[in-house]
Amino acid sequence: MSSKQRFKISQVGRSVLLALTASASMMPALAQEAPAESAEQEQSVERIEVSGRLMSSAASAAAERREQPYVAELLGMEQISRAGDSNAATALRRVTGLTLVKDKFIYVRGLGERYSSTLLNGAMVPSPDPTRNVIPLDMFPAGIIESLVVQKAYSPELPAAFGGGSVNIRTSSIPLQPSFNVSVGTGYSSLNSDDAYTYNGGGDDWKGSDDGTRALSPELRAALDQYGTISQINIAEALGGINQGNLAQAATIVRELGLNFNRDVDVQRENIKPDFDGSVSFGDKFDVGSSVFGVMAGVSYDRSTQNIEEQERYFSVSGDDLVPLNIYDDIKGTEHQVKLSGMLNFGLELDENHRFETASIYLRDTKDEVKVKNGDSIETVNETDRFNTDTSIRYEERSMFSNQIRGRHNLPWLYDISVDWQYTDAKAERDAPGEIEYRYVNELQADGAYTSFLRRNQNAVNYSFGKMEDDTENGSWNAKLPFTLGKAEMVLNGGYSYFERQRESETNLFNFSTVGYSLEQLSQKFSEIFSDESILNTANGFQISNVTTQADDYIAAQMIDAAYVGMEMNYDYLYRLNFGVRYEDFRQISVPLNADGEVSGNIEEFPLQEDGFYPSMSFTWFVSEELQARFGYSSTVVRPDLREVTPVLFIDPLTDFKVTGFSGLQSTDVSSYDARLEWYYDESNYSVGVFYKDLENPIESIELSGSDGNLLMSFRNADSGEVYGVEAEFLQQLNMFEGESYNWLDNFFVAGNFTYSESEITIQQFAGTNLTNLKRPLNGHSKHVVNFQLGFDSDNDEHNATLTYNVFGKRIAFAGVNDKDDAYEQPFNSLDFVYSYTPFESTSVKLSMKNLLDEDVEIMQQGELLQRRVEGQSYGLSFSYKY
């Protein structure tokens, strides 16, 4: 897309946002950081001194959970570190009722990622994933996390877009004492015994940044500005008309533009470097008169290489049998990943009643993947003497930068009112420059050997240049007024929040034609076929086709204004009742664009506007000092993502499936019911609960009818759905046995959780679909999830060890069509071990071992394997110093 077109898009985006603003209810600005009570909880959490046995961190999290008015789960920093989890995503899979999908997204109580939301220090922030509204949680390294709060029951100070739950990532707070931490580590995977696949990238790849080698060159940008679309016909028309002279001149221009593509992409093999990760953090506080000023800063860097072993198959149905259309049983590759993060926090505590904090966080996650697939497509699957070698190079930079300022104030002179507020400005970007795909065809010769040549086709090579920017602003305030009525301690609370988002996404797609090349030429390496001499050789008839009209250019804007009121009543420390209602005014528009930057389709069909009231209620009965019972109800909404309502074709970067949006999607209304019993003792705690969710118009991914042997996915509303189940968890130190012979058990503790649930949706047939099962479980729902942890702490606290186990039940990967059964991802049994040795108070060494059972990820359909990914076993060793 040209710079002129991008300027036009930007102007349209601003106009859309202004139009949405004009239609908004004008309410005072400044909005919510987090629940008002969570501000107080953050204050208490940061003052917990974790010493002695690491079980105390789990007990501390349980103590905070006990005080929560709504059903919630918590993970503290020490719990995350103890299990050896490297990021928020892997840590959260250990929480009751949560499962991890694609190593990035969390499913809460069997509901997909669309039914969960992520907050950063209580603020809504943008996602760098172009196809999903939620933030990929693998982007948040464990080093910047103070705690993770998963709220499963809705409360009115949270955004109404609440389905299964909300994850609040609370970053490290201002320290209570000086600290200096340094950590370095290395790792190895069992898959890395073979050499890595690689190619000539850029000079800045080591820091996860493209130096321009892959990017759209200035010459190509200028050509797009001048001609709109790069093709011989289009350029000839721009030169004054289609005639022999202009066509010849246009062919010369196309050949010269071809030199501006990165063609030095021959796949090579090289030795794998050991993984490396390192981090440095510093924190201190200073007395300034009667006030306290604090600072915390930290940076982390992680470089890893992971070889890939996969299988892919796709079938059609003939009678009772599955007939293969694609079979790729030999898929090898390598993923090179670089993660970089930085954090800078300041705090000023004027006195006990006033505190200000700022938090600046930068996250970058870059993946550079090379994949080589040997097998058969629909064209060769029935031929015994031919097969394909498909090569793909995918480079993706995801980043997020967030600046937040927040404050907490107690006003004893004004009826003891307390106020907290926050303002967050954030930007997420995804840059995917110069992604490349091409296919070599291998033919069996009479002597038994195979010859390989790049396929002769108008679309022999595909180049993709993608970029997305998502800018958001979020502000909020919350106020609480305490008062007493007899034995009842009351708190009246209320607040306001606003959220604004503006997104621009562009993709430029180009194809190279090899129709004019001979088979002898096409038998060369990629860089030789498209060398400068070859491209400029007029005999080869080199051509470029710009197919951006098939891509996913769009602009979008979103605005939410919200206000809530609520009440908390604690009667004689026997009963606590929390209730409230939230009002939200929601406006969204997502506009697809054609290659010229003009609106594609009828713009009147694109806006989505709705408002509503979303009540919630939670009742807690303090049966005894050890036992409490909770009951809850809420009504919330789950809205379609920007990408899902844009009716253009795109490739899902996580599944490689072709996906098209659907502008007719409606929001899902969710009614939730919870009941739970919780027991808390000095060295143990237990809980058991039941839940039920009723879904009206649930959004589901479905397969459309396709003809090329590839999955074509879209989204539709089912008629209704429901999820219900039971969940239980426990934490127990093994010191309950008497006698000296059992003393050794005092150093162990066990923790675990179990969830069993059922789900069902009712869906109808749609145009272009032929769904096999009109009643089935929800996509991604697992009937059971099990987590178990066995921990050991030595008496002198020098040795700590943790063995963790996680498994989820099979879950639908995608629904079956054309009489095929639904495709299920099979259970994955994960067993991990972490050992930590602390010879000195400030020094520790940690050994981690992942996937000890050596399980693979598999998707099955009617007894046939569709996809397999070998996970392999991984090992890590790290050294840390704390002052």
Given a cut of 60, whether residue 326 has pLDDT beyond it is yes
- What pLDDT was estimated at residue 58? 59
- What pLDDT was estimated at residue 605? 73
Percent of the chain with pLDDT over 90: 41
Find the distance separating the first CA and the last CA of the chain, reported in whole Å: 52
Given a cut of 50, whether residue 232 has pLDDT beyond it is yes
630 and 678 Cβ atoms separated by less than 8 Å: yes
Band of residue 422 on the pLDDT scale cut at 50, 70, 90: very high
Given a cut of 90, whether residue 322 has pLDDT beyond it is no
What DSSP character marks residue 593?
B
Given a cut of 90, whether residue 630 has pLDDT beyond it is yes
What DSSP character marks residue 538?
G
Given a cut of 80, whether residue 815 has pLDDT beyond it is yes
Given a cut of 50, whether residue 23 has pLDDT beyond it is no
pLDDT in tens, 723-750: 999 999 888 888 877 777 778 888 898 8
- Which range has highest mean pLDDT (94-108, 519-533, 629-643, 801-815)? 519-533
Spatial separation of the C-alpha atoms in residues 25 and 7, rounded to whole Å: 29
Percent of the chain with pLDDT over 70: 84
Residue 149, helix vs strand vs coil: strand
- What pLDDT was estimated at residue 659? 80
CA 314 from centroid of its chain's CA atoms: 26
470 and 501 Cβ atoms separated by less than 8 Å: yes
- What pLDDT was estimated at residue 525? 94
pLDDT in tens, 393-415: 999 998 989 999 999 999 999 99
Mean pLDDT value across residues 231-256 = 86
CA 214 from centroid of its chain's CA atoms: 25
Average pLDDT over all residues of the chain:
84
Spatial separation of the C-alpha atoms in residues 812 and 821, rounded to whole Å: 10
- What pLDDT was estimated at residue 50? 33
- What pLDDT was estimated at residue 20? 45
- What pLDDT was estimated at residue 633? 95
Tokens linked to 535: 């491209």
pLDDT in tens, 706-729: 545 566 788 889 999 999 999 998
Lowest mean pLDDT: which of 223-232, 357-366, 727-736?
223-232
Neighbours of 675 (CB within 10 A): 16
Given a cut of 60, whether residue 272 has pLDDT beyond it is yes
pLDDT in tens, 867-879: 999 999 999 998 9
Given a cut of 60, whether residue 41 has pLDDT beyond it is no
Given a cut of 90, whether residue 694 has pLDDT beyond it is yes
Spatial separation of the C-alpha atoms in residues 705 and 718, rounded to whole Å: 18
Helix (H) or strand (E) holding 222: helix 218-227
pLDDT in tens, 783-812: 988 888 898 888 887 888 889 898 889 988
Residue 13, helix vs strand vs coil: helix
Band of residue 33 on the pLDDT scale cut at 50, 70, 90: very low
- What pLDDT was estimated at residue 68? 78
pLDDT in tens, 635-665: 999 888 877 887 767 767 666 677 887 878 8
- Which range has highest mean pLDDT (24-28, 291-295, 840-844)? 291-295
Mean pLDDT value across residues 179-205 = 91
For 851: left if phi > 0, alpha if psi spans -120 to 50, otherwise beta; the answer is left
Given a cut of 60, whether residue 172 has pLDDT beyond it is yes
Given a cut of 90, whether residue 882 has pLDDT beyond it is no
Given a cut of 90, whether residue 524 has pLDDT beyond it is yes
Given a cut of 50, whether residue 40 has pLDDT beyond it is no
Domain boundaries in the chain? 30-174
426 and 402 Cβ atoms separated by less than 8 Å: yes
Could you tell me which residue, 439 or 765, shows the higher pLDDT?
Answer: 439
How many residues does the structure list for the chain? 883
Given a cut of 80, whether residue 339 has pLDDT beyond it is yes
- What pLDDT was estimated at residue 533? 94
- The contacts of residue 676 (CB under 8 Å, 6+ apart) are 71, 629, 630, 631, 687, 688, 689, 690
Residue 171, helix vs strand vs coil: strand
pLDDT in tens, 136-165: 677 677 666 777 888 888 999 999 988 878
Question: Would you identify the CATH topology of the domain 30-174?
Answer: Ferric Hydroxamate Uptake Protein; Chain A, domain 1 (2.170.130)
Q: Of 89, 78, 651, 1, which is closest to residue 365 (Cα–Cα)?
A: 89
- What pLDDT was estimated at residue 551? 52
Given a cut of 90, whether residue 753 has pLDDT beyond it is no
